[in-house]
Amino acid sequence: MKKILIVDDEPNIVMSLEYIFKKENFKVFIARDGAEAIEIADAKLPDIILLDIMMPNVDGYQVLKYLKSNEELNEIKVIFLSAKNKISDIELGLQLGADKYISKPFSTKKLVKEVLELLK
């Protein structure tokens, strides 16, 4: 069973993504901020992380930098899901090592497709 970590501070997004990915037979982990995301990534080694950027304490960019600098975690696939949708934001996210960058609001069908594609 594939493991996915959903990192977002918006409860509605977390609930809908959790529901969708459980239906797709993923083991789902939830983090509400970047610090919690790092803890869970270290402990659970997810296959893929859906990562918001704007969060309290530790933002998504910092989480991604941590993942990429850690030998055990740097192979985890990361998709940024963010309301930050300027070209410069997207470029920065991809330069830091995200596999995909999807702007909010997003199509859940497209997101599931992207996740499954990345995990092939």
CA dist., res. 27 & res. 24, Å (int): 9
Domains of the chain as residue ranges with CATH: 3-115 (3.40.50.2300)
In the prediction, which pLDDT does 41 show?
98
* Distances from the Cα of 48 to the Cα of 36, 86, 88, angstroms: 16, 24, 24
| pLDDT tens string 69-111 | 999 999 999 999 999 999 999 999 999 999 999 999 999 999 9
- pLDDT at position 56 over 90: no
Instruction: Report, as an integer, the average pLDDT of 33-60.
Output: 96
User: In angstroms, what CA-CA distances link 85 with 32, 66, 90, 119?
Assistant: 21, 22, 6, 24
- pLDDT tier for residue 57 given thresholds of 50, 70 and 90: confident
H helices then E strands: how many in the chain?
Answer: 5, 5
DSSP category for residue 65: H
What is the arithmetic mean of pLDDT over 45-60?
A: 95
Threshold 0.95, pTM exceeds: yes
Chain segment 7-16, per-residue pLDDT in tens: 999 999 999 9
Task: Examine the pLDDT at 63 and tell me if it is beyond 90.
Answer: yes
Q: Is 78 helix (H, G, I), strand (E, B) or coil?
A: strand
